[in-house]
Amino acid sequence: MEPPPPLSLFSGSTRKQNVACDACRAKKIRCQRISTTQRCGQCAAKDLECTSNYIEQLQNKPRRPRRFRSNEDREKRSDEDHTSPPRRVSSTTSGLGLDPESINSSAASTSSGPTTTTTTMRVGDAVALLWIPGVNDVPPNGVNGVNGASGVTSVSSFTRSPVKNASVRQTEMLRYLFCPTPVLHHDWRYSDVGTIENARGGACDLWEEQGGLIWDEAPTNAHLALWAGGEVELESVALELIDSFFSIVEPRVPIFDASSFMSRFQNPDGDLDGPLPQSLLAVVLAFGAKFVDHAAFTLDREECTGRDNDIPGRTRSRLVQLLTIRAREVAETNKVFRTPTLSNVQTLILLEGLLAYSPMLKTSYNACNIAIASRLLEQLGIGPLFQMFQSRDERMRTELTMFVVAGIETALFRLRPDSWSGESLGSLSSNWEKPVDAFPCLAPDGVAEDVFLQAARTASSIAKKFCNEVWVPRVRATGVPLGTLREFVNDHGTWRDLYLTTLQMPPEWLAGVPKAFDTTMRAMTTDIMYHALWLVAERAVRDYGIMEADEPARHMWTFEVQAMRQRLESEAIHSALRIVLLVTYATEHGLLRLDPLILYRPIYDAGMFLARSGRDEALGAVMGLRQYAQPYPQVWELANDIEMVLAKANPVTFNPQSAALQSLAASSMVAAQAQ
pLDDT attached to residue 67: 61
Single out the residue of 361, 353, 335 nearest to residue 413, CA to CA: 361
227-262 pLDDT per residue, tens: 999 999 999 999 999 999 999 998 888 888 888 899
Question: If pLDDT is split at 50, 70 and 90, which confidence band does 66 have?
Answer: low
One-letter amino acid at 122 equals R
Question: If pLDDT is split at 50, 70 and 90, which confidence band does 16 have?
Answer: low
pLDDT attached to residue 632: 94
pLDDT attached to residue 258: 86
* Range with the largest mean pLDDT of 5-19, 79-93, 137-151, 339-353: 339-353
Helix (H) or strand (E) holding 376: helix 368-380
585-595 pLDDT per residue, tens: 999 999 999 99
Do the strands 152-154 and 116-118 form a parallel or antiparallel pair, or are they unpaired? unpaired
Question: If pLDDT is split at 50, 70 and 90, which confidence band does 17 have?
Answer: low
Do the strands 158-159 and 152-154 form a parallel or antiparallel pair, or are they unpaired? unpaired
Find out whether 400 and 388 touch, Cβ atoms under 8 Å.
yes
583: CB partners within 8 A, 6+ apart: 592, 599, 603, 606, 620, 621, 623, 624
Lowest mean pLDDT among 52-56, 432-436, 660-664: 660-664
Find out whether 491 and 462 touch, Cβ atoms under 8 Å.
yes
Neighbours of 262 (CB within 10 A): 16
Predicted confidence (pLDDT) at residue 566 exceeds the cutoff of 90:
yes
Helix (H) or strand (E) holding 153: strand 152-154
pLDDT attached to residue 451: 77
Helix (H, G, I), strand (E, B) or coil at 660: helix
Q: What is the dihedral of CA 511, 517, 518, 519, to 10 degrees?
A: -30
Neighbours of 329 (CB within 10 A): 20
* Cα–Cα distances in angstroms (integers) from residue 203 to residues 207, 257, 367, in the given order: 12, 37, 19
Over residues 135-152, mean pLDDT: 35
Describe the chain by its helix, strand, coil percentages, rounded to 5. 60, 5, 40
pLDDT attached to residue 604: 95
Distance between CA atoms of 265 and 329, rounded to whole angstroms?
A: 20
Residue 38, classified by CB atoms within 10 Å of its CB into exposed (0-12), middle (13-18) or buried (19+), is middle
Render 310-364 in DSSP notation, one character per residue. Answer: SSTT----HHHHHHHHHHHHHHHHTTTTTS--HHHHHHHHHHHHHH--HHHHGGG
Over residues 111-119, mean pLDDT: 37
315: CB partners within 8 A, 6+ apart: 301, 304, 305, 629, 630, 633
Report, in angstroms and rounded to the nearest whole number, the Rg of the chain calculated over CA atoms: 35
* Cα–Cα distances in angstroms (integers) from residue 639 to residues 118, 296, 358, 671, in the given order: 65, 28, 14, 22
383-402 pLDDT per residue, tens: 544 444 444 577 777 887 88
pLDDT attached to residue 28: 80
pLDDT attached to residue 345: 93
pLDDT attached to residue 621: 94
pLDDT attached to residue 390: 46
Helix (H, G, I), strand (E, B) or coil at 191: coil
Structural domains of the chain in order of their starting residue, each with its CATH number: 15-60 (4.10.240), 71-155 (no CATH), 166-334 (no CATH)
**CA angle at 307 for the pair 228 and 200, rounded to the nearest 5°:** 80
Predicted confidence (pLDDT) at residue 145 exceeds the cutoff of 70:
no
The alpha carbon dihedral of 550, 551, 555, 560 has a sign of: negative
Q: Which residue has the higher pLDDT, 77 or 576?
A: 576
Distance between CA atoms of 540 and 536, rounded to whole angstroms?
A: 6
356-390 pLDDT per residue, tens: 888 877 767 888 888 898 888 888 875 544 444 44
Find out whether 61 and 127 touch, Cβ atoms under 8 Å.
no
Distance between CA atoms of 622 and 610, rounded to whole angstroms?
A: 11
Helix (H, G, I), strand (E, B) or coil at 453: helix
Predicted confidence (pLDDT) at residue 146 exceeds the cutoff of 90:
no
Find out whether 102 and 79 touch, Cβ atoms under 8 Å.
yes
Q: What strands, in cross-sheet order, belong to the sheet with 116-118?
A: 109-110, 116-118, 158-159
Q: Is the pTM of this model over 0.75?
A: no
The β-bridge partners of 153 are 146
Helix (H, G, I), strand (E, B) or coil at 456: helix
Instruction: Say how many Å lie between the first and final Cα of the chain, rounded.
Output: 102
448: CB partners within 8 A, 6+ apart: 440, 441, 519
Q: What is the dihedral of CA 395, 398, 403, 405, to 10 degrees?
A: 180
pLDDT attached to residue 440: 45
Find out whether 323 and 307 touch, Cβ atoms under 8 Å.
no
Question: If pLDDT is split at 50, 70 and 90, which confidence band does 457 have?
Answer: confident
**HSE (side-chain half, CA atoms, 13 Å) at 68:** 20
Mean pLDDT taken over the chain: 76
pLDDT attached to residue 633: 92
